[in-house]
Amino acid sequence: MIFAFQALSADGSVKSGSIEAADRGDALRQLARRGLQARSIQSQTAEIAKSDTRSADNLLALSKTDVIRFTEDMGDLLASGLQVEQALQAMENRSASKIGTLATRVRAFVRDGVPLSAALRQASPSFDELYCNMIAAGENSGALDDIMDRLARHLRLMESVHAKVVGALIYPAFLISAGGALALVMVTYLLPKLASLLTGSGKEPPFMIKVSLALSDLLKNYWWLLALALACIIMLLFALRKTPAFQSGWHRLLIRMPGIRDITRTRFELQFFETLGSLLRGGVPLLHALELVRRAVTNLHLKHSLTQAEALVQEGASLSSAMKKTQALDSQAIDVIRIGEDTGHLAEVLGKAATRMDTQLSRTIERVTALIQPCLLLVMAALVGTLVYTMVNIVFSTLSQLRH
């Protein structure tokens, strides 16, 4: 039989090709004799037979809640002593939801010799690069249950952040909607009434009423054109957000904007320490581990800094000096890396630092989200106050002119 394989070599590079063997076990032994660690190995005949099924598998989309639940359940089962396939079978038998379907599909890949990290990536697009790299690190280090527990805590934390931000924006969003509705009623209904009153009295309307009436006529007669222009602007923004230049500028803004900068930086440092430490503990060489970390980073500006740091390390520089030169991390994080290099226990130092940063990120998020709502309320109070002042001023001007 002929098997297609992907494997890690001793220097951390990925090798792929095909090998002829009596069975899958024989193929694994042949790869081991070559000094290769198998990541996936598939019978080419079986791969062809399953191609239609696996193309459908990629359509399995999971919610964030489903991903968190799968991670927690899988971590608990692995911690109880079950192997990966046994844990997936247990989840498959006890769940009739999407998680049960996912477990069935992932188990089919695992039975074919595919590692869990690659199986998850092929089974559903809901598992991102960081998630799969962390699972791969857990498989390499033999601490998959710990990695699952850490991933579940991290996902719960990110979900809590999202809920807090949404909750903080509900009241300001209500104020914006109410203020917009008030302005629309004033411009399209009340002001024309005042204008007709002034016209009947033979008085010249005040300047602000003339402007408001012009705006009212624009909204009444050309609302479809304004709606079309708004739709075009939204489509243009959606198109621009996919361009590298726009994404790079937006990501650079995220690491410079007050408040948001603290969350972005702390989250990146936590992700960097957690992922790199797990990969190093799993025996992955430093350069290959840096590549995996870089691929998992979504911020293009930080990704570029990591690319430069990776090149410096490849040229022989230490990790701490490379990070200092590229300014990818702040001084405290660089000091942590330097301590790990000096003691020769970089992976352990990074793991302990990641645990501390987890708590620090929670505190940073709580502090920033606590400031979001009052700041937005101040902005909305200024906007609504300006609108009310303008409208009241128009009414008083009209009454004054009628009196004279």
pLDDT tier at 54, thresholds 50, 70, 90: very low
293 has pLDDT over 90? no
8 Å CB contact between 350 and 277? yes
Is 204 or 230 the better-scoring residue by pLDDT?
Answer: 230
pLDDT beyond 80 at 278: no
Q: Is 108 exposed, middle or buried (0-12, 13-18, 19+ CB in 10 A)?
A: middle
pLDDT for residue 198: 62
Lowest average pLDDT, out of 51-65, 134-148, 228-242, 389-403, goes to: 51-65
Tens-place pLDDT, residues 320-342? 898 888 888 888 888 989 999 88
* pLDDT surpasses 80 at 388: no
Contact (Cβ atoms closer than 8 angstroms) between residue 263 and residue 368: yes
First to last CA, the chain: 102
Question: Quick one: pLDDT at residue 104?
Answer: 87
Residue 142, sorted as left (phi over 0), alpha (psi -120 to 50) or beta, turns out to be left
> Does residue 59 surpass a pLDDT of 80?
no
- 300 DSSP 8-state letter: H
pLDDT at 51: 45
Confidence of residue 402 (pLDDT cuts 50, 70, 90): low
In percent, how much of the chain has pLDDT > 70? 80
Cα 282–chain centre separation: 25
Q: Is the pLDDT of residue 45 over 50?
A: no
d(CA 39, CA 126): 21
What pLDDT is attached to residue 231?
A: 92
pLDDT of residue 56: 44
Cβ atoms of 397 and 206 closer than 8 Å: yes
CA 370 to chain centre: 21
Beta strands, E only, 32-101: 37-43
3-state secondary structure of 257: coil
Nearest partner of 125 among 179, 187, 63, 81, judged by Cα: 63
Q: Does pLDDT of 403 surpass 80?
A: no
* Local confidence band at 168 (pLDDT 50, 70, 90 cut-offs): low
Amino acid letter, residue 104: T
Report whether pLDDT(53) > 90: no
Q: Which amino acid is at 162?
A: H
- What's the CA gap between 263 and 367, in Å, rounded? 10
Instruction: Quote the pLDDT of residue 80.
Output: 87
Identify the DSSP state of 222. S
Q: Name residue, tokens 């595919």.
A: 114
Q: Which residues contact residue 152 at a Cβ distance below 8 angstroms, ignoring those fewer than 6 apart? A: 68, 71, 72, 75
The DSSP 8-state label assigned to residue 58 in this structure reads: T
Pairing of strands 14-20, 37-43: unpaired
The chain-wide mean pLDDT, for the chain, equals 77
Cα–Cα distance, 71 to 68 (Å, whole number):
5
Q: What is the pLDDT of residue 52?
A: 40
The contacts of residue 358 (CB under 8 Å, 6+ apart) are: 153, 154, 157, 270
CB neighbour list of residue 163: distance below 8 Å, 6 or more residues apart: none
Q: Indicate the pLDDT class of residue 50, thresholds 50, 70 and 90.
A: very low
**pLDDT at residue 381 is higher than 70:** yes
Long-range contacts of 261-265 (CB under 8 A, 24+ apart): 262/364, 262/368, 263/161, 263/361, 263/364, 263/365, 263/368, 264/299, 265/330
**pTM higher than 0.85, yes or no?**
no
Q: Report the largest interatomic distance among the alpha carbons of the chain, rounded to a whole angstrom.
A: 105
pLDDT band for 387, please (50, 70, 90 cuts).
low
Helix (H, G, I), strand (E, B) or coil at 403: helix
Q: What radius of gyration, in Å, describes the C-alpha atoms of the chain?
A: 30
The phi, psi pair for 35, rounded to 5°, reads 80, 25
Please tell me which residue, 358 or 324, carries the higher pLDDT value.
Answer: 324
Is residue 259 classed as helix, strand or coil in its secondary structure?
coil
DSSP class of residue 190?
I
